[in-house]
Chains A and B, each alone.
Chain A
């Protein structure tokens, strides 16, 4: 009880002392912050809220601008897709499974070509080469995600098929024109076609990317011309081999060749 009374007295004494001190303290010179400091603090305070309110004010515009950029980008992508060559679009859109399906769909046409062009035993060899060419691509397309490399590879397949089809058609025409072509020469032609396939696989992908659809016929024509020269050389080589083997039929073969290619300069080995 006594302690409580003392505490109360102490508090009262303290309050009295503080009151008196406060009065004296109030008479002290009233220091004021410099005006420049006032201005700096007020400016800082205003800037802080203006920055925030600025964001609030333009927040919806920021969102609108972002949405507009997305819409624009989407539109540009759609336009690009419409303008792009058809097969390239397919390559870009294709999933590996779709690539596989398309390869499967195209394979029968290749098989038809091979059947019509090669009725001899070399057909098997040709098909094997075709299968060997397609198989790695299909497997890779099934396993790998659609990368730039796989896209280029797919373009190669497309172009190769075009070249092969053109070559096969020409070969058929040539075969129709000359049914009397000896078996050995036919075999040589088939071998040559198989070589052509392997050559066409290594065509430059960069040139195909520029304008694949437009380039395909031109490349096909070039290949056909080259293939024809190559075929003639193959025929000549076959005749030379006949001659070297001592088969007298080489003379007849040579005559037939000269009839077919009257302007072609014969090699020294076949000159009499």
Chain B
């Protein structure tokens, strides 16, 4: 028997089926938690953000449309929740502007190894918030560029730009 899709489960939950939410939660709990945990690099804050995001998802269940991809919808809520958190943290924080570098090289072959896991994690945490957010959305959710653009409210090119920046920084850091 075919497993119900995320969209079907969410629709079912919105219609009062609590068990559908259990399934949905089991599918996305780890990825969403890592998304927050690696953004803020603090377990307590990550827990708060994670719980807050799910609460918002629960409250917004009646607004969900079955035609919309559930993952994109869920991460849009999570992203907005995170932005709210940053705004509360630094009300006057400016949004950084990304400039596409002239020449882009991919990460060096073999630059990332199993031994460098901790370093990789630290480097991701050290990325600027917008780049980190975009990179984590890509790595954790597997969303397409267009979907990430929709979630973060920027253009597809800006998403690509942020990803290139992030990859470049990680490559340099890990090589050093």
| Chain A residues near B (Cβ < 8 Å) | 10-11, 13-14, 16-18, 20-25, 27-34, 37-38, 40-42, 44-46, 48-50, 52-53, 56
Contacts and interface: CB of A to CB of B under 8 A. Distances in A.
Contacts of A25: 120, 139
Given A14-B104, A33-B50, A52 B37 contact: no
Given A20-B106, A25-B139, A56-B16, A45 B21 contact: yes
A29 B18 CA distance: 31
Given A21-B170, A27-B114, A53-B16, A14 B37 contact: no
Q: Does more than half of chain A's interface fall in helix, strand or loop, or is it mixed?
A: helix
A120 B33 CA distance: 108
A14 B164 contact: yes
B137 to A, nearest CB: 11
Interface in B125-176: 135, 138-139, 160, 163-164, 167, 170-171
B16 A52 contact: yes
11 contacts: A21-B107, A25-B139, A27-B117, A34-B47, A40-B51, A42-B21, A48-B59, A48-B61, A49-B18, A50-B18, A53-B16
Interface stretch (B22-30, B77-85, B90-98): B22-30
A16 B58 CA distance: 37
A42 B114 CA distance: 35
Given A17-B107, A46-B18, A30 B34 contact: yes
Nearest to A23: B112
Contacts of A24: 112-113, 116-117, 120
A38 B29 contact: yes
Given A25-B120, A30-B30, 15 more contacts: A16-B106, A18-B138, A24-B116, A28-B117, A28-B121, A30-B34, A31-B38, A32-B33, A38-B29, A42-B25, A44-B54, A44-B55, A45-B13, A49-B16, A50-B18
Interface of B: 13, 16-18, 21-22, 25, 29-30, 33-34, 37-38, 47, 50-51, 54-55, 58-59, 61, 104-107, 109, 112-114, 116-117, 120-121, 135, 138-139, 160, 163-164, 167, 170-171
A183 B21 CA distance: 104
Contacts of A45: 13, 18, 21-22, 25, 54, 58
A29 B72 CA distance: 24
A33 B164 contact: no
A100 B33 CA distance: 81
Contacts of B121: 28
